[in-house]
Amino acid sequence: MKKIKVGLVGYGFSATVFHAPLLSVLDEFHISKVMSSNPEKVKSDLEDVEVVSTLSELLEDDSIDLVIITTPSGMHYEMVKDALRAGKHVIVEKPMVVSEKEANELIQLAKEQDVQLSVYHNRRWDNDYLTVKQLIEEGKLGDVKMYEAHFDRYRPAVRDRWRENEGPGSGALYDLGSHLIDQALHLFGMPDFVQADVFGQRDHARTDDYFHVVLGYGSLRVILHSSAIVPSNGPRFQVHGTKASYIKYGIDGQEDMLRAGKKPVDDTWGADSPEHYGKLTTGEGETTEIETLHGSYVTYYQKIADSLLRGEELPVSAEEARDVVKVIEVAFESSKEKRAVYFN
């Protein structure tokens, strides 16, 4: 079987937690080069990998099929553009870029170069979201009228890191909002309008750390929320339909497992704790505990392999990721102008 030779750009949190461990358990991939300013760290994890200091060195290697870009969001556009021009397939961390204009340029360039461009929206494979999606698709909730998803944390002190400093692509809406928006668009498509409140809530905040975004779809309202000052979390998901409600506490544990050095090597991966199973309550008041489906971030890369080796559809298209960025831009506009912004 032909292996997909990978060039990994950046070796910080994203690469070491969300990319390298997943690639390492799939036979279809081989990480052959890493661009990093910390070769000792790379070599301690990936002994047989060549470490380079510039993107151009990595792109000059004709044997590399796929470039995975895990650098800060403001660097994505130029790096993706260079990789596409070099004739490489590209995966880029979310958010894809920081503007719809940049996204459209990259989509056109990928078509011109006849290469694949995908974005790592891994939380489509969270166990809680997969369960919500299945319940909706099976009609268990009836006609969904309200969908609310939270990504709350308790991080009251502002830290000195790029996501919390002023700059392109920084802040909670681009970071955590990308996940929640992608999930919502994957379920319901593009909304009719966006109404948002986005600002820095913590003392000495340098960028946004709070958002409350409402997406309007006819009689359906989608509420996406995040705050950094939540000592005790409420429900992760609340979904209400004409037949039933589904309430789910707790967050998918795959990130914590990957942080701890574990890898998805058996069928226990992505399982939820029984105490966090959600509850489905019908209009007649009958409540059923719903076992959470298993999460599977590795599925994203399995589908990437299917796409590059067997011509199947990408797990996340560049156009889908572009729409996430479009909603983020409109949410900032809505918050600034204190009004709902309609797409049509």
Q: Residue 4: what pLDDT?
A: 97
- Give residue-wise pLDDT tens across range 90-107: 999 999 999 999 999 999
Long-range (24+ apart) CB contacts under 8 A made by 210-214 are 210/172, 211/172, 211/173, 211/177, 211/331, 211/335, 213/173, 213/177, 213/180, 213/181, 213/327, 213/331
- Percent of the chain scored above 70 by pLDDT? 100
Nearest Cα to 263, choosing from 19, 22, 44, 8?
22
Average pLDDT of the segment spanning 310-316 = 97
Q: Residue 114: what pLDDT?
A: 97
Decide if 76 contacts 97 (C-beta within 8 A): yes
String of DSSP letters for 272-319: PPGGG-EEEEETTS-EEEEPPPPP-THHHHHHHHHHHHH-PPPSSBHH
- Give residue-wise pLDDT tens across range 191-221: 999 999 999 999 999 999 999 999 999 999 9
Measured between alpha carbons, how far is residue 28 from residues 12, 70, 198, 297, 301 in Å? Answer: 23, 20, 41, 16, 9
- Give residue-wise pLDDT tens across range 116-162: 999 999 999 999 999 999 999 999 999 999 999 999 999 999 999 88
Average pLDDT of the segment spanning 67-92 = 97
Kindly tell me if the per-residue pLDDT of 249 is higher than 80: yes
Q: Model's pTM, two decimal places?
A: 0.96
Give the pLDDT band (50/70/90) at residue 253. Answer: very high
**How far apart are the C-alpha atoms of 210 and 208, rounded to whole Å?**
6
Nearest Cα to 173, choosing from 147, 151, 148?
151
Q: Residue 47: what pLDDT?
A: 87
What is the chain's mean pLDDT, rounded? 96
Give the pLDDT band (50/70/90) at residue 344. Answer: confident
Q: Residue 1: what pLDDT?
A: 63
